[in-house]
Amino acid sequence: MNDIIWTPTEEQRASARMTAFLKHCNQPDYPALVRWSDANPEEFNSSLLQFIDYRFYRPYERVMDASAGPAHVKWCVGGTTSVVLNCLERWLDGPVQNKVALEWEGEDGRQACYSFADLDRETCRLANGLRELGLGKGDVVGLYLPNVPQAVIALLAVAKIGGIALPIFSGFGADAIAVRLNDGEAKAVITVDGSPRRGKVVDAKAVVDEALANTPTVKHVIVCRHMGNPIGWREGRDCWWDDITSGVPENAPTEEMPADAPFLLIYTSGTTGKPKGVVHSHCGFPVKTALDLGICMDFRPEDRILWMSDMGWLVGPILVFGGLLLGGTIVLVEGAPNYPQKDRFWRLIQDQRISFLGIAPTIVRSYMSGGTEALQRFDLSSLRVVASTGEAWTEDSWLWLFQHAGKGKVPILNYSGGTEVGGILTTLITEPLVPCAFTGPVPGVGADIVTGEGKPVATGEIGELVMRTPSIGLTRGLWNDEARYLESYWSAIPGMWVHGDNASRDSDGRWTIHGRSDDTLKIAGKRTGPSEIEALLMQTGLVRAAAAIGVPDAVKGAAIVCVCVPASGVNDSDDVRARLSDAVTSGLGAPFRPKEVILVSDLPMTRNMKIMRRTVRATYMGADPGDLSSLMNPEAVRELKLKIFAAD
């Protein structure tokens, strides 16, 4: 479907932050801005820093130094700053200090509210407490916290003392925590006594204790009281958050840091080997987030943003540092979108008056099978913008959300990139929308689509998504692993960042992501992405999720295997599997008839709702599936193994 389904009004265009940015950069339109930013990265990034009013203690002498090559650009050379200066302290001299910066709702219904001034006070208290423990510049502090206000405060406080925050997914077990703490050489961990999981209390402190049995660098564990459950205690190492923050001053100095010094170490899983430690700096990640969230996706100070994600994944820090830098209100929610009520997600939008909603397509697909009754019970009229990331859309799920949640009036802005880079492709509120497509590249990243040899592809052809221009938000490398950084991103095509996604451009200039490039299927000489096959499976109404993978075939070179989660009320049967196979064949032709259709109760997914096709394929092939620590449901891999074993 390539039809325009939504067009901005003149008022929406005129009031958009992108329109103001175009004027600031003296560019006539978005395509011209992209061309100019790619050709003049130093001038573009200087204009960006000015537009968002990013503040420095000592001004930089040069915005970028690319003399060491595109993989090692230095940013804001000679300048000093802090992400805390820009996210909190900038708001404390005027009326914004009393504005609500953070609203929180727990799984059990508890609520809390913090103004910018409140957040600053709590951040200063924790910063003073951390300094009393001997923590400071350059020290890595692990954060094993659910979505509680203290997770936001901890991220800010660690940055305030010049430390490096290492957020860890709150659902990880001890082994996954230990790997990250050891790799980061963390000196401290901040955690909670317990964490709620669908009505049950998980002893988070016990998980940390188990991890620390093999983590010799950690000398301090700061425990926040949250659930009141009894916990183990190690004298001399463990301390209560309340104890180190009581009786300390409500103000604290912010460390003046070199602008490109790291403040965030966030891990992303590799296909094989240990997780990769992605390093982000004070002048990098927040500036890129302001561009992506504030300019491209039009987040404004008056917005209230809900984007349900753990702090251990990229969206969590985007919410904290992007939302605060841009002066908006973060709505932080603990727990799942469908617990304790199945329709909790829609109720939150209504009760919290959400104007800017972040969502993963997988969440939408999970609600589609239940119809629209829940949507109709809630008032979602506060919505102004919906942003999406995590997985490729299918047209039916995109249209379902657009028509039923947004009543055909709220734009859905697709956003795609990664932990290492922020956004590469975006959708703009100033441009007409076509379902599932992207308006184009985020300015300043030099996005292109090329062959495996680095040659540009023709319009309509699928190729590798690359960046030709280093972005200010690009990772400063992988933690203590220079060789892996170069091998993972810069070695495949010299001079280009190879992102690992397949993409194409149409004749109107719109871009489409077709999934990971190592997920590409080439059947009988015909190349296609798994999303095209999965869309055909979803259109049958028989399944609520699907993963199409390619496996070796003696005749075709490769054959298709479809692993699907049946819709409510659909049972595993020969008839259902045959109908699904026929749907693929009817849509794509006989060469694409699946070799096998497997029905399972769940697909392996990351916490930010990405279906891990590589894990599905490795499991099917009996190969090493790589690092599974980022999966929210590792039991899905075990079930798939059993299904394959039973079939054999």
Under 8 Å between Cβ of 267 and 627: no
Total-model pTM: 0.85
- Cα separation, 550 vs 519, in Å, equals 8
- Cα separation, 557 vs 571, in Å, equals 32
How would DSSP label each residue in 111-136? EEEEEHHHHHHHHHHHHHHHHHTT--
Query: pLDDT tier at 106 (50, 70, 90 boundaries)?
Result: very high
Tokens 């904290």 identify what position?
A: 320
Show the tokens assigned to 334: 């603990």
pLDDT of residue 269: 67
pLDDT of residue 520: 61
% of the chain residues with pLDDT over 70: 94
Instruction: Please list, in sequence order, all residues whose beta carbon lies within 8 angstroms of the beta carbon of residue 31, skipping any fewer than 6 positions away.
Output: 440, 509
Instruction: Please list, in sequence order, all residues whose beta carbon lies within 8 angstroms of the beta carbon of residue 270, skipping any fewer than 6 positions away.
Output: 276, 488, 626, 627
* Rg from Cα positions in the chain: 24
Alpha helices in 133-275 (DSSP H): 149-160, 174-184, 204-212, 241-245
Q: What is the DSSP letter of 165?
A: E
Nearest to 415 by CA among 263, 299, 278, 266: 299
pLDDT of residue 206: 97
Q: Residue 77: in which H helix or E strand, if any?
A: strand 74-77
Tokens 């390539």 identify what position?
A: 2
pLDDT of residue 585: 84
pLDDT of residue 594: 92
pLDDT of residue 268: 84
pLDDT of residue 271: 46
pLDDT of residue 180: 93
- Cα separation, 548 vs 531, in Å, equals 8
Above 90 in pLDDT, residue 648? no
Write the secondary structure of 327-353 as one string of H (helix), E (strand) and C (coil). Answer: CCEEEEECCCCCCCCCCHHHHHHHHCC
**Cross-strand bridge partners of residue 559:** 551
Above 70 in pLDDT, residue 237? yes
Show the tokens assigned to 566: 């049946």
Three-state DSSP state, 270: coil
Under 8 Å between Cβ of 425 and 441: yes
Above 90 in pLDDT, residue 633? no
- Cα separation, 581 vs 598, in Å, equals 10
Nearest to 62 by CA among 263, 289, 260: 260
pLDDT of residue 273: 59
The average pLDDT across 327-335 equals: 97
Under 8 Å between Cβ of 617 and 549: yes
- Cα separation, 116 vs 96, in Å, equals 7
Show the tokens assigned to 524: 């009988």
Q: What is the pLDDT of the chain when averaged over all its residues?
A: 92
* Sign of the four-CA dihedral 150, 151, 156, 158: positive
Query: pLDDT tier at 647 (50, 70, 90 boundaries)?
Result: low
The average pLDDT across 623-637 equals: 79
- Cα separation, 561 vs 647, in Å, equals 13
The average pLDDT across 618-633 equals: 79
Instruction: Please list, in sequence order, all residues whose beta carbon lies within 8 angstroms of the beta carbon of residue 353, skipping any fewer than 6 positions away.
Output: 304, 382
Under 8 Å between Cβ of 512 and 506: yes
The average pLDDT across 563-591 equals: 88
Under 8 Å between Cβ of 410 and 402: yes
Query: pLDDT tier at 402 (50, 70, 90 boundaries)?
Result: very high
- Cα separation, 83 vs 550, in Å, equals 44
Above 60 in pLDDT, residue 525? no
- Which class for 492: exposed (0-12), middle (13-18), buried (19 or more C-beta within 10 A)? middle
Under 8 Å between Cβ of 388 and 307: no
The average pLDDT across 155-176 equals: 93
Under 8 Å between Cβ of 18 and 296: yes
- Could you give all domains of the chain from N- to C-terminal order, each with its CATH number? 116-258 (3.40.50.980), 520-647 (3.30.300.30)
